[in-house]
Amino acid sequence: MHAVSLDNLWVAFGLTFAAGLATAIGSLLVLFSKRPNPRLLAFGLAFAGGAMVYVSLSEILNKSVASFALAYGEHLGFTYGTLWFLAGVILVVLIDHFVPNPHETLDKQDPAFKEKNRSSIRRVGLLSAVAITAHNFPEGLATFFATLESPSVGLPLAFAIAIHNIPEGIAIAVPVYFATGRKSYAFGASLLSGLAEPVGAAIGFFALAGSLSNATFGAVFGLIAGIMVFLALDELLPAAKRYAKGHETVYGLVIGMATIAISLVLFKW
C-alpha cells in the first residue's frame, strides 16, 4: 500500500490549483495588452511540450512500471505500465473525438473574428471554454497524483502545464471579450475553465482514496504519462510551430527538456 503524506496532499492540491489559475493569466494578457508576442508564445508552448514529454517518459512512466512491479512482479509491471500508458493516449483521443479542442488564432484583431457577428463569436467562445475545460480535468488529475507521489516530479509538471494553460486562457478570453465587450466575462470564463483542474484532482482523489494501492498508483501514473505525451505532441508542439517564425519551436523543446532534466538531477541531491 502507498502511504499518502498529508503535507504532500496539500502541496499536490496547491500546485494543481496554481497550474489551473494560469488560464486566468492568459485572459489578462488579452485584456491588458495589445496582442501576445507570437514568437515568445511559440517558445513557451514548445518549452512546455518538451518538459511534459521528458518528465512523462523519464519519470512518470517509470513510476507506473515500478508501482506495478511491486504489485505483480517485474515482467508484468512493465507490461501493465505500458498498457496503461497506451490507455492514457486513447483516453485523450476519445476526449478529442467527442469534444474537439479548438486551435484558433490568438489574435483578437484577426479578420476571421471581424467577419463573424457577435452571436457567432459568443458561440465560439462557449465551445472553446467547454472543450478546454474538458481537457483540463485529466491535466488536473495528472498534476495532483504526480505531486502526491513525488513533489520533485509534480513541480516541473505543474510548471509545464501552467505554461500550457496561459494560451488556453487567451483562446477563451478572445472570443468572449469580443462578443460581450466585458472584461469581467472574459476573465471569469478563463478562470472557471482553469478551476476544472483542481476539481478534477479532487474528484480523482476522493474516488480513489479508498484504494490507493501499488496497482492503483501504477494505473494512474500510466494514464498520466500517456495523457501528457499526447497533449504535448497533439496540442503544444503544433501550436508552437504555428506561431513560430524561426527556430523557436526546436529551441523551446530542447531547453524545456534540458530544464526538467537538470531540475530532476538537482532534486536527487
Cα angle 240, 246, 251; round to 5: 65
Q: Residue 197 annotated as binding?
A: yes
CA–CA separation, 198 vs 15, rounded Å? 9
Closest CA to 161 of 228, 247, 226: 228
Q: How many residues are listed for the chain in this entry? A: 269
CA–CA separation, 99 vs 79, rounded Å? 30
Q: Residue 168 annotated as binding?
A: yes
* Helix, coil or strand: residue 148: helix
Q: Residue 136 annotated as binding?
A: yes
Q: Residue 164 annotated as binding?
A: yes
DSSP string, 170-226: HHHHHHHHHHH--HHHHHHHHHHHHTHHHHHHHHHHHHHGGG--HHHHHHHHHHHHH
Closest CA to 186 of 174, 198, 197: 174
Binding residues for Fe(2+): 136, 139, 165, 168, 197
Binding residues for Zn(2+): 139, 164, 168
Binding residues: 136, 139, 164-165, 168, 197
